[in-house]
Structure 1
């Protein structure tokens, strides 16, 4: 028996049943204030990890609060009791420095190390690119979406961006990443994946994800490929319901499971895989989502494909699960199906209900203790291989910002923004725009910019960059969906301009303004340049005659967009797909 096996066996032998169940969970925590509750949960339950975030406060985020029939809401809503935070959801969390956040994470890690097991706690986040950023603070660099990187044809760029993300996060003390997206986006109208995917082609996804995974590994962070067995063919968002993909087993294996199979076979560093809350009835006739399906997780992924790493669910409170199952039943089914970790992002008393519920399930014979042991062994093995046990993941607070300030990271951010920028079409020959021309810029308030709102990254960021080239730019800020108040304000300024530049960004849970831009064109007949972040039809009508694609929300991407408007020093890319 190896030293790793001996250590893991010894630790499992010391665990109580409650701790074994706890080791199968990653629980959510938002903000920067250590509370007695989070420290008590770490001490009592010994969770494997914490999913942290410094974006908006998370509360019942993954069921649709605006649904006409939110019949499943009761399955994920638990009202605070005791000293659990009873906060207003949707507000940004407080500002903090990199050093302050690193110290905050160290406090939680020490709480885990100081219990009777001393197992290192892993800290996980999501940083997919574009507006997906769980740590939008203190100078961190944002990178373009995977879809933009994939369209460059440059796999080295995918590697370098992944390394840069890992360099930034590991210096803070983040050790695990719920990225990259391995989905092959074969459905153009997919509301959830889109440019989160590297490509619509399986072979391209394999190349780019393989490069990214190597970059994450070299950067020292545990990467998680998602969403197995593939959500690219869906036309529904799993956050708010249970999508059903009716592809045959052969088609799923050829197009969507193939990236996993190839990377496992070739030994690409893929330590963790996240399962999809999506049903595939042609493969598992039970109708269960893959995340609760033994067919997909144990039979295909672990046995047929030979995956030896850790398997985690996506957030167990998402609509795709909550619509069908009570929370304890969902967690029980997920472990019996073969998941090794359960992600519970909801910051509420749910964890205090789920862990006792699963302990009871073991005692009743509904869940084998040996299944828990196997799950824990896989996760601890990953932690051992990535050096978690050397110092428990404790970071030097004084060096917390080193990765963010690293000149190499900064240069990669600039290079990536430049390489992904595309003039998709310019049928009216509007580019480059004369600096003397009077321009009306209609700029949506990007969700990332609203959240960060610093001098470097803020609403009106495109305007700021355009003013570097011309003083003749009028700016009207708008909501994402161009509401009636926005329309009134735009109409008031139309007469002042010869040309319009309008943004049309697409983000999940945000409406796009494509219909309004088409109406605007008919209303004014003035030429319009559209600046968008995706080549997919949700935000990109064929009626738009001049289009610039940024593929990102970073200051670097917006600087390149302004350059494209006035200088046209950007690659052109004909798009005939959509």
Structure 2
């Protein structure tokens, strides 16, 4: 861990109790129906805005200038410079649309290139720092061993613990060299779950020995290097202490404090996942979850952003005043927070964020080209018969769409800004092509209509946009039975059938792919263009599967 000189005790001693407690609560500077922006602003003006979470602004505040105006306002609202925190698995673009869109972790895994992992992490860190963010919810340390995982999937580097450790170490180094604190997640592990913890409480019933060699191995290996860990709302009976039965990891002292700090040598910040998630909120409510998470050993908690932050603040303060939360624990956590605030830029950097300076870093040419290089190198060819395709052949492009998107396209036409629109235009730039859609749940009539349509084409290119989505349940990242039937039929009915997967590879476990197939691991413009370019032979794909696809393909497969 980095050494430095800082008057941690001096800072702590001049902080009021309110400021100490506020530094442990990450609020979300955003607008929702439940919490208007003025409530968050009031929280700052009351001197409690010390830690700020993901900055999500109104839809009309999506350009850099207006974002800087909002960030600069937040930076001046409290006595101490706010500790800005952001969720950035693919860069800041998930919250701030003008930032560089980087590929997901599984795309990076498919490159098998730790240098690219380091460089992308370093680039994201630089964009974070340019906008004043000091801590990022990255990297995902989950081992995605469950192909039916509805929420991790392509967010993980892979399904092999040693591979994940290797790639994660490069990511951690890149982020921290860029001056941003990392929070490896989702501790103790979310890779072998079949439930989305945004919706319900997953449960992992493995024994302790198995967990140590799989889910916990990245933490055991990387804890001395990590500046932070984010916990998950998951039941782990084998790791709980006596009296903690049916207690999620978030609220377990044995899991949150004893295991990482006493066994793994962790000295960084322990941060909870969002207490808005139904898995924790429905079971415990706002106040009980917040107090329980701190008692378990979290230094910082991600406040329920659908409620007034004062609710969380006052319940935690009352718990400190009445002795439920020991003042000694508050002191330990706050001093640890102060330490990492110094490591990531200190307290006194009130410099106004200027457009000219920020725009030199955020979405700069170097970062844009790096993102394209990663997307290019990630493309994985799992089957090949007709590729590369030749121009001039009668071609039909089919894209999967939700029912809502399908109705929009039917009424208003295909948007060039949508993934499906980018896909179609990319193919059209290579050869003339017609366009059709395939619904997530096609009816028998839909299936017959599309199968009849493809008979007049030499090339049929299907782009699957079935991606991992929070709150989507079992449909997240998976093909419906109806889609499986339709794709199987299309393979038989088409002269040349090419499947492009703009998501995870696991959907192949339900398909018998007999013709051409490429995996792009994402739906952004770089992934789509790279897949189409590879299909037309503009480069030779070098990506390899970073996971096993049960019954189909092994780790490392490519053709």
Aligned to 2:422: 461
CA offset at residue 523 of structure 1? 4.5
Please show how residues 125-204 of structure 1 align to structure 2 within 5 Å: 125-129=86-90, 133-138=93-98, 140-204=99-163
- Residue 420 and residue 257 in structure 1: after superposition, are their counterparts in 2 closer, same or farther (change >3 A)? same
Partners in 1 of 2:346 and 2:505 — Cα distance? 40
Q: Deviations over 1:446-465 (max 9, x none)?
A: 999x9xx9977754111111
CA offset at residue 340 of structure 1? 0.4
Please show how residues 352-501 of structure 1 align to structure 2 within 5 Å: 352-392=310-350, 394-426=352-384, 429-444=385-400, 459-471=420-432, 473-477=433-437, 490=450, 493-494=453-454, 496-501=456-461
1:528 equivalent to 2:486? Answer: no
Given that 2:441 and 2:483 are in contact with CA atoms closer than 8 Å, whether structure 1 keeps it comes out as no
Structure 1 window deviating more from structure 2 (564-573 vs 146-155): it is: 564-573
CA offset at residue 261 of structure 1? 2.0
Q: Deviations over 1:114-168 (max 9, x none)?
A: xxxx2221222222139x9423523x32122211211222111111111122223
1:258 equivalent to 2:233? Answer: no
Given that 2:187 and 2:229 are in contact with CA atoms closer than 8 Å, whether structure 1 keeps it comes out as yes
Aligned to 1:36: 38
CA offset at residue 34 of structure 1? 9.3
1:274 equivalent to 2:251? Answer: no
Given that 1:102 and 1:173 are in contact with CA atoms closer than 8 Å, whether structure 2 keeps it comes out as no
Aligned to 1:563: 533
Partners in 2 of 1:517 and 1:302 — Cα distance? 47
Aligned to 1:74: none
Partner SS, residue 148 of structure 1: helix
- Residue 571 and residue 523 in structure 1: after superposition, are their counterparts in 2 closer, same or farther (change >3 A)? closer
1:502 equivalent to 2:502? Answer: no
Given that 1:423 and 1:570 are in contact with CA atoms closer than 8 Å, whether structure 2 keeps it comes out as no
1:9 equivalent to 2:42? Answer: no
Given that 1:460 and 1:477 are in contact with CA atoms closer than 8 Å, whether structure 2 keeps it comes out as no
Unaligned runs of 5+ in 1: 58-92, 113-117
Aligned to 1:576: 553
Partners in 2 of 1:147 and 1:313 — Cα distance? 24
Aligned to 2:72: 106
Aligned to 1:227: 186
Partner SS, residue 73 of structure 2: helix
Q: Deviations over 1:536-565 (max 9, x none)?
A: 434653323332111122222111111122
Aligned to 2:411: none
Name the Cα RMSD after superposition.
3.1
- Residue 122 and residue 499 in structure 1: after superposition, are their counterparts in 2 closer, same or farther (change >3 A)? same
Partners in 2 of 1:34 and 1:278 — Cα distance? 30
Partners in 1 of 2:42 and 2:374 — Cα distance? 42
Given that 2:152 and 2:468 are in contact with CA atoms closer than 8 Å, whether structure 1 keeps it comes out as no
Given that 1:280 and 1:289 are in contact with CA atoms closer than 8 Å, whether structure 2 keeps it comes out as yes
Q: Deviations over 1:477-516 (max 9, x none)?
A: 5665557997698578545533322222222244344534
Q: Deviations over 1:158-193 (max 9, x none)?
A: 111111222233223333211110111122221111
CA offset at residue 328 of structure 1? 0.6
Partners in 2 of 1:390 and 1:490 — Cα distance? 63
CA offset at residue 370 of structure 1? 1.8
Partner SS, residue 151 of structure 1: helix
Partners in 2 of 1:344 and 1:462 — Cα distance? 39
- Residue 54 and residue 251 in structure 1: after superposition, are their counterparts in 2 closer, same or farther (change >3 A)? same
Partners in 2 of 1:576 and 1:203 — Cα distance? 19
Partners in 2 of 1:485 and 1:122 — Cα distance? 55
- Residue 144 and residue 517 in structure 1: after superposition, are their counterparts in 2 closer, same or farther (change >3 A)? same
Q: Deviations over 1:403-437 (max 9, x none)?
A: 134332122112101110111112xx121223222
Q: Structure 1 length normalisation: TM-score? A: 0.83
> How many corresponding residue pairs?
523
Partners in 2 of 1:488 and 1:400 — Cα distance? 53
Aligned to 1:124: 85
Partners in 1 of 2:415 and 2:327 — Cα distance? 50
Partners in 1 of 2:553 and 2:272 — Cα distance? 37
Partner of residue 342 from structure 1, selected from 284, 289, 301: 301
Partners in 1 of 2:435 and 2:239 — Cα distance? 52
Given that 2:228 and 2:269 are in contact with CA atoms closer than 8 Å, whether structure 1 keeps it comes out as yes
CA offset at residue 233 of structure 1? 1.7
Given that 2:505 and 2:521 are in contact with CA atoms closer than 8 Å, whether structure 1 keeps it comes out as no
Aligned to 2:53: 51
- Residue 263 and residue 369 in structure 1: after superposition, are their counterparts in 2 closer, same or farther (change >3 A)? same
Aligned to 1:86: none
Partner SS, residue 388 of structure 1: coil
Partner SS, residue 227 of structure 1: strand
Given that 2:31 and 2:37 are in contact with CA atoms closer than 8 Å, whether structure 1 keeps it comes out as no
Partners in 2 of 1:489 and 1:507 — Cα distance? 28
Unaligned runs of 5+ in 2: 409-413, 546-551
CA offset at residue 35 of structure 1? 4.0
Given that 2:61 and 2:67 are in contact with CA atoms closer than 8 Å, whether structure 1 keeps it comes out as no
- Residue 101 and residue 248 in structure 1: after superposition, are their counterparts in 2 closer, same or farther (change >3 A)? same
Q: Structure 2 length normalisation: TM-score? A: 0.85
Structure 1 window deviating more from structure 2 (178-187 vs 215-224): it is: 215-224
- Residue 95 and residue 22 in structure 1: after superposition, are their counterparts in 2 closer, same or farther (change >3 A)? closer
- Residue 23 and residue 540 in structure 1: after superposition, are their counterparts in 2 closer, same or farther (change >3 A)? same
